[in-house]
Structure 1
Amino acid sequence: MFELIMCIDDDPITMMLCKKVITKSLFSNEIISAQNGEVALQHFNELKYLSKGKGFKSPQLIFLDLNMPIMGGWEFLDHFNTAEYSDFNSIKIIVLSSTIDPEDLERARTYPMVIDFLSKPISIAMLEYVKNKLE
């Protein structure tokens, strides 16, 4: 079981389903969410600030949607893969997308923190697969 995971997705129904499935499967103790990549980066910027004191708790895993307004998944990955966010190198990312475009699969492989590219919607079987992959 994970202590803390993050879901980055702009669709409230997808987010609700994600939280329900994760909670039901006892996959994580706590789930935080962001409706786009920009909000997620703001969260990590706050964590960097907090890490200088106490209360630093970083997600161990991120479920990331690709197509979002303001800042999509690819833009988030481009920023998150820079030295500015090197404190978070150990966080694993799973791209969750409604389309499985072979070009997207190839592009996802270029980011060292992306460990898989899975099709929406999230399911208990998918979480079992992820848990086994990370053990």
Structure 2
Amino acid sequence: MLDQILCIDDDPITLMLCEKVIIKASFSNEIITAENGEEALHYFNTLKYTNTENQLKRHPQLIFLDLNMPIMGGWEFLDHFKSEAFSEFKDIKIIILSSTVDPEDREKSKAYPMVIDFLSKPITLTMLEYLKNKI
């Protein structure tokens, strides 16, 4: 079981479903949500400035990321998140969870080393079992 997961999606129903399935599967102790990439980056910036070197740095081990969101989409989030500014979070794995079926998106995701899989919405218990074995 993971300690903490971040779900980034602009659809409140998708976020609610994510939370319910993750809880039912006992996949994570804590689920944090963000409605777009900008909100997620703000969350990570807050972590950077509230954690001191003496504290245990606690952050998500896994991110479920939607691609198509207003304000800041998944691709923009990935571009910012892979930068030096967020290097202390480079061990976080990302699963793209999207409704897109475009093979170009799947191929593009391979350019981001932190992206370990590309799955289709909605999240399911079967997906989480698959991920438990993969992580």
For Structure 1 versus Structure 2, the TM-score category normalised by the shorter chain is over 0.9
Per-residue CA deviations over 1:35-63 (Å, capped at 9, x if unaligned) read 00000000000111122253631000000
The letter of the residue matching 2:38 is E
For the pair 1:36 / 2:33, whether they are aligned, the reply is no
Q: What SS does structure 1 have at the residue aligned with 2:30?
A: strand
TM-score by length of 1: 0.97
> What is the match of residue 80 of structure 1?
81
Q: Do the aligned residues in 2 keep the contact of 1:50 with 1:56 (CA within 8 Å)? A: no
Consecutive unaligned residues in structure 1, runs of 5 or more: none
> What is the match of residue 112 of structure 2?
111
The letter of the residue matching 1:27 is F
Q: Do the aligned residues in 2 keep the contact of 1:9 with 1:36 (CA within 8 Å)? A: yes
Identity fraction in percent = 67
> What is the match of residue 94 of structure 2?
93
> What is the match of residue 2 of structure 2?
2
Q: Do the aligned residues in 2 keep the contact of 1:89 with 1:113 (CA within 8 Å)? A: yes
Matched residue count: 134
Q: What SS does structure 1 have at the residue aligned with 2:122?
A: coil
Per-residue CA deviations over 1:9-53 (Å, capped at 9, x if unaligned) read 000000000000000010000000000000000000011112225
- RMSD over aligned CA atoms reads 0.9
> 1 CA distance for matches of 2:101 and 2:50?
37
Q: What SS does structure 2 have at the residue aligned with 1:70?
A: coil
> 1 CA distance for matches of 2:126 and 2:44?
29
Residue 101 of structure 1: how far off its partner (Å): 0.9
> 1 CA distance for matches of 2:101 and 2:28?
26
> What is the match of residue 72 of structure 2?
71
Consecutive unaligned residues in structure 2, runs of 5 or more: none
The letter of the residue matching 1:107 is K
> 1 CA distance for matches of 2:50 and 2:107?
35
